[in-house]
Amino acid sequence: MRAKGALAAVGRCQLAGLLAVAVSAVGSLVVLALLLLPVGAGFRLLVPAATALRRLSDRSRARAARWTGVRISAPEPFAGDPSWSRRRRAGAILADEGFWRDLAWAWLEPWAGGVLVAIPLMFLWYGAFGTLVQPFVWRYLGDGNWYAFVPVHSTPTMLAALALGVGFLVAGVVMAPRILSLHGRWTRLLLSVPRRTELTRRIAHLTDTRAQALDVQAAELRRIERDLHDGAQARLVALGMTLDSATRVLDSDPAAARRLLAEVGETTARALEDLRTLVHGINPPVLADRGLGDAVRSLALDSFLDVHVDVRLAGRLPAPVESAAYFAVGETLANAAKHAGAREVGIVLDHDGRTLRVSVTDDGRGGADPAKGTGLRGLQRRLETFDGVLTLHSPPGGPTTAIMEIPCVLSSPKTSSC
């Protein structure tokens, strides 16, 4: 596995080196456009050249994330659309901070990034020459034949060169992943939006999700108030009235009084049932008692589907996260039963030290799309309050996998008191 990763890193270094050349070519085009601005022709060239450069930098950011896990915040796309005049669009591009960062990157990438990724490649190619070519050609090369610091003119020196070549090969392969991650960080240094912009975005996101969370909470309180008013409260009023009637007929008609009292018993039972349902909707008791793992197991037991639950959590999560994840799983299960026509569902709960990961896979017909279903979008919005993400893989014909990730801490398990 590690060897495979190292070899992949070698290939990626090679690719990054070639891309650095492409980047510098496009960068030159942009500079040409800038130089031509005074004579007017530059306006024609600047928009496509800058857009091409932005596409390259966007891909570079995406690659850094994919290859090395380095997340780089992207700048906003250029302002304007094709209906704008060329001058106006070019002006917008020149005023764009991201454009100048792209340009600086385009000029530095070949010299710094390109050279960086070339280091393991040099070791590899030179190592390959030493192991695969030298042993066969040294006889024909005569006296001046050196391999690194070894003069190759006899079989023992050839073997030394061979060993050295193998060493270079290994060094190149071992180095490649580290160099690649260094390259990722270098790319972030050049291509990430400034901290200030990142923070502004973060604040906008938080303001947005906070407003949503407050809306959800207010709606929830309204629902609880309405449920209490229409349910338990109404039943208690009815109870009082029935008791009053029973008291009045107690002496004159004991049989009727007994009937009314039996009614009181039934109404009490129903009021209790109402309250139980309400409490379950606010804070499911198993969730409060045992945490997310057992609460999801309980959901699985109540489901009509065959649900397999795999809990890999060694502790409790923060209560709001538990609650959000619980209701999200409940909704996903309901979707699997209702819309996907699934029979079997697999649920995995996992925490990697930073993020809770819940994956729900069903064998239904697939084709779920958050853009179409309001339920999925609502789920996505509720997870956003916790900086959570919902990823959905649902090809037509299934299977559907919903992955919910919420960053949070995992506290150590409470010690039992009995």
Partner 1 sequence: MRVVLAEDLFLLRDGLTRTLREHGCEVVASVDNGPSLLRALLQDEPDVAVVDVRLPPTYTDEGLRAAIEARRRRPGLPILVLSQYVDQLYANELLAAGDGAVGYLLKDRVTNTEQFVDAVRRVAAGGTVMDPQVIAKLLSRSQARGMIGSLTPRELDVLEMMAEGRSNVAIAAALHFSESAVAKHTASIFGKLRITPSTDDNRRVLAVLAYLKR
How big is the site for partner 1, counted in residues (CB under 8 A)?
Answer: 23
417 touches partner 1 (CB under 8 A): yes
26 or 295, CB closer to partner 1?
295
Least separation in angstroms between CB 200 and partner 1: 43
Least separation in angstroms between CB 287 and partner 1: 10
Distance CA 93, CA 79 (A): 7
Least separation in angstroms between CB 306 and partner 1: 8
175 or 271, CB closer to partner 1?
271
Q: Nearest to residue 352, comparing CAs of 390, 405, 310, 305?
A: 405
Residue from 85, 217, 268, 283 binding partner 1 (CB under 8 A): 268
x/- map, 289-308, partner 1, by CB under 8 A: xx---x--xx--xxxx----
Please report the beta strands in 125-281, taking only residues with DSSP state E, as ranges in sequence order: 146-147, 150-151
Residue from 44, 88, 280, 354 binding partner 1 (CB under 8 A): 280
Task: Please state the φ and ψ torsions of residue 162, each to the nearest 5 degrees.
Answer: -60, -45
Rounded to 10°, the helix 2-36/115-128 angle is 130
223 touches partner 1 (CB under 8 A): no
286 touches partner 1 (CB under 8 A): yes
334 touches partner 1 (CB under 8 A): no
276 touches partner 1 (CB under 8 A): yes
- Taking a C-beta distance cutoff of 8 angstroms, is the pair 24, 110 a contact? yes
Q: How many other CB atoms sit within 10 Å of the CB of residue 81?
A: 7
Least separation in angstroms between CB 218 and partner 1: 27
SS3 393: strand
Least separation in angstroms between CB 295 and partner 1: 8
90 or 309, CB closer to partner 1?
309
Least separation in angstroms between CB 265 and partner 1: 7
182 or 224, CB closer to partner 1?
224
Residue whose pair of structure tokens reads 């999700």 in the numeric block: 209
Question: Which residues, numbered 375-414, are part of the site for partner 1 (CB under 8 A)?
Answer: 414
Distance CA 114, CA 147 (A): 25
Least separation in angstroms between CB 301 and partner 1: 4
The number of CA neighbours under 13 Å toward the Cβ of 270 is 15
140 or 304, CB closer to partner 1?
304
Q: Which stretch binds partner 1 (CB under 8 A): 105-113, 206-214, 245-253, 265-273?
A: 265-273
SS3 142: coil
Peptide bond into 399 cis (omega under 30): yes
* Type and span of the H or E element at 407: strand 400-407
127 or 291, CB closer to partner 1?
291
Q: What is the pairing mode between strands 355-362 and 400-407? A: antiparallel
339 touches partner 1 (CB under 8 A): no
Q: What is the pairing mode between strands 146-147 and 389-393? A: unpaired
Least separation in angstroms between CB 308 and partner 1: 14
58 or 294, CB closer to partner 1?
294
- Taking a C-beta distance cutoff of 8 angstroms, is the pair 96, 209 a contact? no
* Type and span of the H or E element at 359: strand 355-362
The number of helices, as runs of H, and strands, as runs of E, in the chain is: 14, 7
**Which residues of this protein are in contact with partner 1, per CB under 8 A?**
265, 268-269, 272, 276, 279-280, 285-286, 288-290, 294, 297-298, 301-304, 414, 416-418
